[in-house]
Amino acid sequence: MKENLPLHAKETLIVYKRVKNPDFKPDIDSYIAAGGYETLKKAMKAGDPAALCSEVEKAGIKGRGGAGFPAGMKWKFLDRKSGKPIYFVVNADESEPGTHKDRWVIYYDPHQLIEGIVLCSYATQAKQAFIFIRGEFIHGAQILEKAIEEARAKNLVGDNILGSGFSLEIVVHRGAGAYVCGEETGLLEALEGKRGQPRIKPPYFPAVLGLYNCPTVVNNVETVCQCLNAVEMGGEKYASIGVKSDAGTRIMNVSGLVAKPGIFEIASGSVTVGELLNDMCGGPLPGRKFKAIIPGGSSMKPLRFDEKYKIKDADGNDREVYLEDVPLDAASLMACGSSIGTGGMIVFDDSVEMIQALANLNAFYKHESCGQCTPCREGSIWMARISKRICDGNGAEEDLDTLKDVADNICGRTICAHGEGEAWPVQGGIAKFRDEYAESIRRRNKGEPSPFTGYPLI
């Protein structure tokens, strides 16, 4: 067993089937022995890129980078009339706090990603591919470069791949620690050698004006792997996995205050929040009780365990359930008022003082704002200062209204979604924990002892 990747009977392993296999070696021979590159060979032999696009569309894969945009649709938007070359870019920035799923694909099964890239580039008829990998994955970048060279030696990357007439170079491009480069247009700026400041849409939709102002696809690592697997099993069969509105598997990557944080690949909707945290992740730490989660990366709104949420069951009927009984799929979490995002779930138990958690995230978004848009740049600083001041025992009663007012005035007023990303934790936090925040202000101002036993978060 790989220490951090335990298996569980409720899992449906597709992207992680080799990642979780303790005996699997990440070199190309092991990958080929496990049936790797067969999908690509078949696709090249068939010689019909459009058919591959239609399989991916039929599969109904929602993007796995956080925003959940349908992958097939993204490919369809490519401007093919301009005559400009098409670029295929993989987002391996994995920068959303709480997200740690792509890392293990890169480290343990790099050829799945390489095969996926060649297949997706062939399907979209891309001229060149880039993997934008976060700067901190120093060995991850080396592993990918080595994997590319292994694939090149077998004519699976490079000129005239498998005699198909299709050629593709894959360049591994390391970022340098900026969260905002996980935003697709910020990523493209970084790939062009510039400050990673996101571009305004319109006109800069990557599918039309992307890398070097050419039509470009930007897909997350997991999305690329899901596309490969969808083509392998056929779009319709893939679409039959999980719930209808959210086809395929979800890689739930859990962190925070739970007995055994881990990564579990499940058919969407097949496991509830309670099953994930209690059965798969071993429940709360000894003597603790679950309090809340952020379901899909730090930008998403928190959800409380002691509240009921209105969701729809498979037949479309309304159902009111506690958080524990909410199934893990995109529609259910959206119905709760949050989002499944990247599947990066952060867990809080009753030892956590939520204002500190908010101050921690505010500090993150302040550090990462690129500074282009005034509401985001100034707003993130204000919110971080206010929440820190509260934690320092200098909060004022009206601070919570001010926090909410600042957050409300960021959303929809910025070039990229970093604005929403920094505002949602504040809006969601105040909606769910206003009373606790107010009590923290009162108690901290008086210097009374804290009932919370958790680690300091700010």
How far apart are CB 138 and another protein at their closest, in Å?
Answer: 5
Q: Does 158 bind another protein (CB under 8 A)?
A: no
C-beta neighbour count of 78 within 10 angstroms: 21
Q: With respect to another protein, which residue has the nearer C-beta, 231 or 354? A: 354
Q: Cβ(372)–Cβ(419) under 8 Å?
A: no
Candidate list 14, 86, 148, 191; residue touching another protein; CB under 8 A: 191
Residue ranges in 368-387 that form contacts with another protein under rule CB under 8 A: 368, 370
Instruction: Take residue 88 and report the two structure tokens written for it.
Output: 């295929």
Q: Does 137 bind another protein (CB under 8 A)?
A: yes
Q: 235: exposed, middle or buried (C-beta count within 10 Å: 0-12, 13-18, 19+)?
A: buried
Q: Does 212 bind another protein (CB under 8 A)?
A: yes
How far apart are CB 298 and another protein at their closest, in Å?
Answer: 6
What's the half-sphere exposure (Cβ side, CA atoms, 13 Å) at 296? 26
| Window of 65-73, 134-142, 219-227, 426-434 that interacts with another protein by CB under 8 A | 134-142
Q: With respect to another protein, which residue has the nearer C-beta, 182 or 235? A: 182
Q: Pattern 264-283, binding to another protein, x per CB under 8 A?
A: --------------------
Q: With respect to another protein, which residue has the nearer C-beta, 75 or 104? A: 104
Strand partners for 130? 89, 171
Query: Using N-to-C axis directions, what is the helix angle for 374-391 and 418-446, rounded to 10°?
Result: 20
| Window of 36-44, 192-200, 308-316, 429-437 that interacts with another protein by CB under 8 A | 192-200
Residue ranges in 90-109 that form contacts with another protein under rule CB under 8 A: 94-100, 102-103, 107-108
Output the CA–CA distances (angstroms, integers) from residue 39 to 151, 156, 217, 225, 231, in the order listed.
14, 12, 21, 12, 7
Torsions phi, psi of 162, nearest 5?
50, 30
Query: Using N-to-C axis directions, what is the helix angle for 110-124 and 221-233, rounded to 10°?
Result: 70
Residue ranges in 111-130 that form contacts with another protein under rule CB under 8 A: 128
Q: With respect to another protein, which residue has the nearer C-beta, 235 or 284? A: 284
| Window of 89-97, 226-234, 265-273, 439-447 that interacts with another protein by CB under 8 A | 89-97
Q: Cβ(216)–Cβ(205) under 8 Å?
A: no
Q: Give dist(CA 82, CA 296) in Å, integer.
A: 37
Candidate list 16, 122, 179, 433; residue touching another protein; CB under 8 A: 179
Q: With respect to another protein, which residue has the nearer C-beta, 446 or 455? A: 455
Residue ranges in 49-88 that form contacts with another protein under rule CB under 8 A: none
How far apart are CB 77 and another protein at their closest, in Å?
Answer: 22
How far apart are CB 441 and another protein at their closest, in Å?
Answer: 21
Output the CA–CA distances (angstroms, integers) from residue 323 to 154, 327, 355, in the order listed.
50, 9, 21
How far apart are CB 81 and another protein at their closest, in Å?
Answer: 21
CA angle 227-230-236, nearest 5°?
A: 135
Candidate list 79, 136, 279, 325; residue touching another protein; CB under 8 A: 136
Candidate list 41, 58, 125, 135; residue touching another protein; CB under 8 A: 135
**Looking at this protein, which amino acid is placed at residue 420?**
E
Q: What is the 3 state secondary structure string of 326-340?
A: CECCHHHHHHCCCCC
Residue ranges in 389-448 that form contacts with another protein under rule CB under 8 A: none
Q: Pattern 288-327, binding to another protein, x per CB under 8 A?
A: ----------x-----------------------------
Candidate list 83, 163, 193, 287; residue touching another protein; CB under 8 A: 193
Query: Using N-to-C axis directions, what is the helix angle for 418-446 and 354-368, rounded to 10°?
Result: 140
Instruction: Take residue 76 and report the two structure tokens written for it.
Output: 């369809």
Q: Does 16 bind another protein (CB under 8 A)?
A: no
Instruction: Take residue 245 and report the two structure tokens written for it.
Output: 């509105």
Q: Give dist(CA 300, CA 340) in Å, integer.
A: 8
Q: Does 286 bind another protein (CB under 8 A)?
A: no
Candidate list 16, 26, 121, 148; residue touching another protein; CB under 8 A: 26
